[in-house]
Structure 1
Amino acid sequence: MSIKLLGTKIGMTQVFTDQGICIPVTVLKVGPCIITQIKTLNSDGYNAIQLGYSQVSTHLLTKPQLGHLNKTNSPALKYLREYKTNLSETFCVGQILKVDQIKVGDKVNIQGNSIGKGFSGYQKRHHFSRGPMSHGCKNHRQPGSIGAGTTPGRVFPGKKMAGRLGNHTTTVKNLLVIDINTENNLMLVKGSVPGKPGTVLSINSK
């Protein structure tokens, strides 16, 4: 059964296997997550569960947010995420999902926002080639022509140009779970995941 969880990226390190092989790993704090709402086909038109993560003080949430959580006697939770599932009847409101739902050796998909890198030019953002650097050339990192003249007389939407780089939703698939610490809700996965330390991640075990 596919398990959905929320977690936080702690950082990266490396571990060594019994054979002496060095493996780069990312340390994640996974859960505990509380089921705050269950949506069914009869009441909402589709089956889904809503997970809450990261308990905070009540003054950090708005009254509508607190009212929604109070309906199910849930504590004040900073993050809420909804996941579609065909097994909503197997869950109950208030149920706590922890990292022990995942086993060592499982493959997981991890989704989060990538690191934002601010305003970037053509070469860095789209890997365009630069102009000649020889004497007399005045086109080193300029964009050059961005469209035709009279026809069509405009720039087509979606033209690759300079702009914001990064900070978009990214999913890394099939990451191997190396180790799990159930006492501290920690999990080690092989390789890197999106975002910087502190980024909230969506973890989907296959």
Structure 2
Amino acid sequence: MVGLIGINCGMTSIFSKNGKNIPCTIIKIYPCYIIQIKTIKTDGYFSVQLGIIDKKKKHTCKSLQGHFKKSGVTPKKKLLEFKSKIFYPELKLGSIININSFLEGEYVDVKSFSKGKGFQGVVKRHGFSGVGESSHGQHNRLRSPGSIGAGSDPSRVFKGKKMAGRMGGKNVTIKNIKILKIDSDNNFLILKGSIPGNKKSYLMIKKKYEITNFKYSRKFY
């Protein structure tokens, strides 16, 4: 089993057997269809491309229609590629991977894009404390970065200096998240704690030590 594609439905909390309130995230799992299987012989590496949520044929370009036709699957809205070092001979084109691949109590890795915060200053972006207390003659300096380098020598700013800039919107992996509950009837996966991304964002869920890179679309469905 290579993994599953999920959609973030938001957070809630559940009570454990000893009465402790545990924050958790609810993930909607759709049936994942195997669209393409890449092998070392043909592509130089092993991976499996999964697709979820049906899409109208008239909204799919002809090149993708041919891509889906090879696997015998109707067009899908979202495609994600799961790379792995392990070969899975039981996987076949057009077959389905569902929520029953996971078990309650096991640990998974979740990968998604974090929320974009836009252009932020050093206090929010890097946790700076600012210049210090305000005093006479000090104007709007409380949240400033302060000095960014010497003048005469080296007469430049070193690369990698923590400064203001765009924050968030990065590919983030949260490892070892425990599965608290699996609702097979409604296809909901309940994970302990928080995970990156907005509501309705796509998530890549893999068993421990199986998470890898994937191409991400910022369009939400």
- TM-score relative to the length of structure 2: 0.85
- Corresponding residue for residue 136 of structure 1: 137
In the alignment, the residues of structure 2 paired with residue 88 and residue 128 of structure 1 have an alpha-carbon distance, to the nearest angstrom, of 48
Secondary structure of 1:118's partner? Answer: strand
> Which segments of 5 or more consecutive residues in structure 2 lack a partner in the other structure?
209-221
Comparing 185-194 with 69-78, greater Cα deviation is found at 69-78
Q: Which runs of 5 or more structure 1 residues have no equivalent in the other structure?
A: none
Q: Deviations over 1:86-126 (max 9, x none)?
A: 22322110110001100111111111111111111110001
For 1:101, the equivalent position in structure 2 comes to 101
- What residue number does 1:156 align with? 158
Q: Which residue of 2 aligns with 1:38?
A: 37
How far does residue 190 in structure 1 lie from its aligned partner after superposition?
Answer: 0.9
Aligned counterparts, 1:1-206, within 5 A? 3-85=2-84, 86-131=86-131, 132-138=133-139, 139-206=141-208
Paired residues in the alignment total 205
Q: Cα RMSD over matched residues?
A: 1.7
Whether the 8 Å contact between 2:34 and 2:71 is mirrored in structure 1 is: no
Aligned mates of 1:142, 1:42 — CA distance in 2:
55
Distance of 1:64 and 1:146 partners within structure 2: 51
Closer/same/farther in 2, CA of residues 35 and 147 from structure 1, 3 Å limit = same
Task: After TM superposition, give the deviation of residue 48 of structure 1 in Å.
Answer: 1.6
TM-score after normalising by structure 1: 0.91
Contact 1:49 1:88 in 2 (8 A): no
The whole-number CA distance in structure 2 between the counterparts of 1:189 and 1:101 is 15
CA shift at 1:150, angstroms?
Answer: 4.4
Runs of 4+ in structure 1 off by over 4 angstroms are none
Q: What is the percent sequence identity of the aligned residues?
A: 41
